[in-house]
Structure 1
Amino acid sequence: MAPPVEGFPDVLAVAPLTAAPDVTLRPPGSKSITNRALLCAALAPGRSVLRGALFADDTRAMLGAIAGLGAGVGADEDRATVTVDGIDPRTTATGGTLDARQSGTTSRFVLPVAALGTGRTVVDGAAQLRARPFGPLIDALRDLGAEVTEEGEPGRLPVAVRGPVRGGEVDLPGHLSSQFISGLLMAGPLMRDGLRMRLTSELVSVPYLDMTVAVMAAFGVDAERLAVAPGAYRPADYAVEPDASAASYLLAAAAVTGGRVTVAGLGAGSLQGDVAFADALERMGARVERYADRITVTGTGALRGIDIDMADISDTAQTLAAVAVFADGPTRVRGIGFIRGKETDRIHAVVTELRRAGLDAVEHDDGFTVNPGTPSPTRFATYDDHRMAMSLALLGLRVPGIEIADPGCVAKTYPGYFTDLDRLR
Structure 2
Amino acid sequence: MNIKEVKPLKYFEKISLKLPASKSLTQRALICSALAQGVSQIINPLISEDTLLLKDALKAIGVNIKEKENIWEVEGRFPPLLSGKKIYLGNNGTGARFFIALASLGKGSYVEIYGKPRLHERPMDPLIESLRKLSSHIECLEKEGFLPIRIKEGKLVSQKISLPGNISSQFISALLLIGPCLPNGLEIFIEGQLLSKAYVDLTTNIMKTYGVEVEFFENKFKVSPSFYKPTSYEVEADASTASYFLAIPLVLGRGEIIIENYNPFSKQGDVKFLEYIKKMGAKIEILNPLGVKVSFEGIPQGIEIDLSDTPDLFPTLCILGAVAEGKTVLKGAPHLRYKETDRIKAMVTELRKLGVKVEELPDGAIIEGTKEFKSAIINTYDDHRIAMSFAILGLKKEGIKIENPECVVKSFPEFWKYIEKLYG
Q: Normalised by the shorter chain, which TM-score bucket?
A: over 0.9
Q: CA RMSD in A?
A: 1.3
Residue aligned with 1:82, SS: strand
Is 1:166 the counterpart of 2:186? The answer is no
Deviations 1:271-310, CA, capped at 9 Å, x for gaps? 2110111111111111111234111111222210011101
1:64 alignment counterpart: 56
Deviations 1:164-187, CA, capped at 9 Å, x for gaps? 221221111221200001011011
Residue aligned with 1:303, SS: coil
1:271 to 264, 267, 270: 267
Residue aligned with 2:297, SS: coil
Spell out the pairing of 1:24-423 with structure 2 (5 A cutoff): 24-76=16-68, 79-89=69-79, 92-119=81-108, 120-162=110-152, 163-224=154-215, 226-257=221-252, 258-291=254-287, 292-373=289-370, 374-423=372-421
- Measured in 1, the distance between the counterparts of 2:278 and 2:420 equals 24
- Measured in 2, the distance between the counterparts of 1:268 and 1:87 equals 34
- Measured in 2, the distance between the counterparts of 1:96 and 1:125 equals 14
Q: TM-score, normalized by length of structure 1?
A: 0.95
- Measured in 1, the distance between the counterparts of 2:129 and 2:192 equals 15
- Measured in 1, the distance between the counterparts of 2:321 and 2:95 equals 32
Give 1:95 shift: 4.7
Residue aligned with 2:138, SS: strand
Give 1:355 shift: 0.3
Percent of paired sites with the same residue: 37
Q: TM-score, normalized by length of structure 2?
A: 0.95
- Measured in 1, the distance between the counterparts of 2:36 and 2:84 equals 19
- Measured in 1, the distance between the counterparts of 2:39 and 2:130 equals 31
> Would the aligned equivalents of 2:236 and 2:263 in 1 still touch at CA under 8 Å?
no
- Measured in 1, the distance between the counterparts of 2:78 and 2:389 equals 41
> Would the aligned equivalents of 2:270 and 2:313 in 1 still touch at CA under 8 Å?
yes
Consecutive unaligned residues in structure 2, runs of 5 or more:
none
> Would the aligned equivalents of 1:12 and 1:404 in 2 still touch at CA under 8 Å?
yes
Residue aligned with 2:310, SS: helix
> Would the aligned equivalents of 2:350 and 2:379 in 1 still touch at CA under 8 Å?
yes
- Measured in 2, the distance between the counterparts of 1:366 and 1:93 equals 39
- Measured in 2, the distance between the counterparts of 1:107 and 1:244 equals 22
Mean alpha-carbon deviation: is it higher for 294-303 or for 233-242? 294-303
Give 1:93 shift: 4.5
> Would the aligned equivalents of 2:164 and 2:192 in 1 still touch at CA under 8 Å?
yes
- Measured in 2, the distance between the counterparts of 1:298 and 1:19 equals 15
Mean alpha-carbon deviation: is it higher for 32-41 or for 43-52? 43-52
- Measured in 1, the distance between the counterparts of 2:163 and 2:86 equals 26
Residue aligned with 2:247, SS: helix
Residue aligned with 1:311, SS: coil
Deviations 1:354-406, CA, capped at 9 Å, x for gaps? 00111111101110011111221111110000000000111111111111010
